């Protein structure tokens, strides 16, 4: 009974292995010390090595796994990323309200069909809520709107 290689699972195992190697490599640039008096590098090297071991085991395990469905969803990932980046970029420059509007409008594009009216309504409600709860209520140091 031979099953085809599960590419995604193998890729994930390889990525974990690379992460392990990176941790070992970066960890060895810190002071390792001795068993008696460990430096900051000792524990990371240990952790990286165990991770490397598990990535090998996982690479062996991938033959037993079933295929994933709906793995790539570029649209939601892209739109949510765009929304977060816009929020982060606008928050301290132009204030909470423009940042909220940009965030909600952008993330609302992740699903088809796009519902512009619902998105605008949600954005306005959240702006009001955000200003009253977070700026007036909790006093976070951000302006509502900065010109």
Q: Give contact residues for another protein (rule: CB under 8 A).
A: 8-9, 12, 16, 19, 23, 26-27, 30-31, 34-40, 42-44, 47-48, 50-51, 54-55, 57-58, 61, 65, 68, 70-71, 73, 76-77, 80-81, 83-85, 87-88, 91-92, 96, 99-100, 103-104, 107-108, 110-111, 115, 118-119, 121-123, 126, 130, 134, 138, 140-142
Give how far the C-alpha of residue 143 lies from the chain's centroid of Cα atoms, to the nearest Å.
27
Between 9 and 147, name the residue whose CB sits nearer to another protein. 9
Minimum Å gap between C-beta 71 and another protein is 5
Contacts of 17 (CB under 8 A, 6+ apart): 51, 52, 55, 56, 59
Name the 3-class secondary structure at 38: strand
Determine whether 132 is exposed, middle or buried from the number of CB atoms within 10 Å of its CB (0-12, 13-18, 19+): exposed
Minimum Å gap between C-beta 145 and another protein is 15
């Amino acid at each position: 009974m031979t099953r085809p290689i599960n590419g995604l699972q193998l890729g994930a195992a390889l990525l974990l292995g690379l992460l392990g190697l990176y941790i070992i490599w970066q960890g060895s640039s810190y002071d390792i010390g001795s068993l008696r008096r460990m430096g900051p590098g000792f524990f990371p090297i240990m952790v990286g090595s165990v991770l490397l071991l598990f990535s090998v085991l996982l690479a062996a395990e991938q033959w037993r796994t079933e295929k994933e469905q709906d793995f790539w969803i570029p649209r939601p990932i892209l739109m949510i990323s765009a929304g977060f980046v816009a929020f982060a970029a606008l928050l301290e420059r132009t204030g909470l309200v423009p940042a909220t509007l940009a965030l909600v409008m952008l993330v609302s594009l992740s699903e088809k069909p796009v519902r512009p009216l619902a998105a605008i309504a949600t954005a306005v409600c959240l702006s009001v809520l955000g200003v009253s709860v977070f700026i007036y209520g909790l006093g976070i140091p951000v302006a509502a709107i900065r010109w």
